[in-house]
Amino acid sequence: MPRTQPVNTRYRRIYQHLSGADLGASEDQALSLEELGLGDAKNARVDLLFGIYSPQGMERALRAYGLLERVEERVGPVELRVQFQDPYRPRIVVWSRRFYAPVADLCLRKTVGAEVGLGDALAQAPLLYVDSLLLQNPARSFDWNRPPLPGQNHPGLSLAGQLLDLLLLMARRIGAEALALVPSTFAAACVYERRFLFVDGDAQGRFLALKGAGQGRPRWLLAWAVELGCMRDAQGRPVPFMPNPMLSPLSSRLIQHFDARAWDDALQVAARQPLTLDEDVLQQRFPWERMPPGPPPERVAELLGYDPLAPVMAH
């Protein structure tokens, strides 16, 4: 199977040193594991996320890993807001005090393999599922070195890899066998591909075929070409990106799912599909109004048929 990037070694060491008391106690508490409900699953406290994390413990962990400090280097002071009417469906928000906006906003829940298309013995495999994930830097504006991707209102934080590592470690701590999500766009799937694989081998192959069709072009431009319906198969038909579940496996039996012959055969067939980028359609549909002011780089201008005198560029 294609290999995913392992979790950061330093993060793994920090994970091993964080105790149940570190993660479950409030600032004014020093409780035993039994009092925290971590010594006996039947006594799990309802005020702990996934039976393990208090809001204060969550912040303590994020600071131990250094994630909040990295966010503050980019946007200034932040506060962690944890919402959980249901402790197994929390929403975690990192809020910028300077910009009055979220810089990270994610909704999580625990589910099982059947929801993402796993069958037989894997149908009941416990998963940590990312319902939604937003990472943005309201302190920055887009420019031609970093143009907007589909769905972006602000540039990202360049911390997606670190956050996904921490979510994988959270999944392991709560007893999940994988981290799961569904990328809403091709651009999102490109971010996740270093740590995730599509559950369906055919979906993995189609994703690789779309990437291959944009080889040699900027990743952000390929993302827009896919989003705008500019990819074509050998018969000239549009080939859209179809959101499908992705997994980052943690257990040996889920790793074996991606080592299976059937999964790899489906990948190989779909990945060999010849796709092309229809440059004429891309030029017609390209969202200049979403782009930064000023002329694009020469290579991009040539590809997109950029006309500096065209009215559409007056923004």
- The answer as to whether 146 is a domain residue is yes
d(CA 175, CA 60): 20
b or e along 276-301 (b: 16 or more beta carbons within 10 Å of the residue's beta carbon)? ebbeebbeeebeeeebeeeebeeebe
- The answer as to whether 247 is a domain residue is yes
In total, how many domains does the chain have?
A: 1
d(CA 234, CA 113): 35
Residue 96: strand, helix, or coil = strand
104-109 mean pLDDT: 98
pLDDT in tens, 16-51: 999 989 899 876 554 444 444 444 444 455 689 999
One-letter amino acid of 194: R
For the cut 70, the answer to whether the pLDDT of residue 310 exceeds it is no
One-letter amino acid of 283: Q
Q: Is the dihedral of CA 159, 161, 167, 170 positive or negative?
A: negative
Q: Which of 41-55, 168-182, 187-201 has the lowest mean pLDDT?
A: 41-55
pLDDT at residue number 31? 46
- The answer as to whether 251 is a domain residue is yes
Percent residues over pLDDT 70 in the chain = 90
Residues in the chain: 315
Q: Within 10 Å of residue 151's Cβ, how many Cβ atoms?
A: 12
Half-sphere exposure of 29 (CA within 13 A, CB side): 16
Half-sphere exposure of 254 (CA within 13 A, CB side): 27
pLDDT in tens, 115-170: 999 999 999 999 999 999 999 999 999 999 899 999 999 999 999 999 999 999 99
- The answer as to whether 3 is a domain residue is no
Adjacent-strand bridge partners of 1: none
**Which residues form the domain of 97?**
9-313
pLDDT at residue number 42? 47
- The answer as to whether 2 is a domain residue is no
For the cut 90, the answer to whether the pLDDT of residue 308 exceeds it is no
- The answer as to whether 4 is a domain residue is no
Confidence (pTM): 0.90
Mean pLDDT for all residues in the chain:
90
- The answer as to whether 236 is a domain residue is yes
Tell me if 61 sits within 8 A of 55, measured CB to CB: no
CB under 8 Å to 220, separation ≥6 — which residues?
146, 147, 148, 149, 187
Instruction: Looking at mean pLDDT, say which of 17-21, 44-48, 225-229, 294-298 comes out highest.
Output: 225-229
- The answer as to whether 299 is a domain residue is yes
For the cut 50, the answer to whether the pLDDT of residue 190 exceeds it is yes
pLDDT at residue number 10? 95
pLDDT at residue number 37? 40
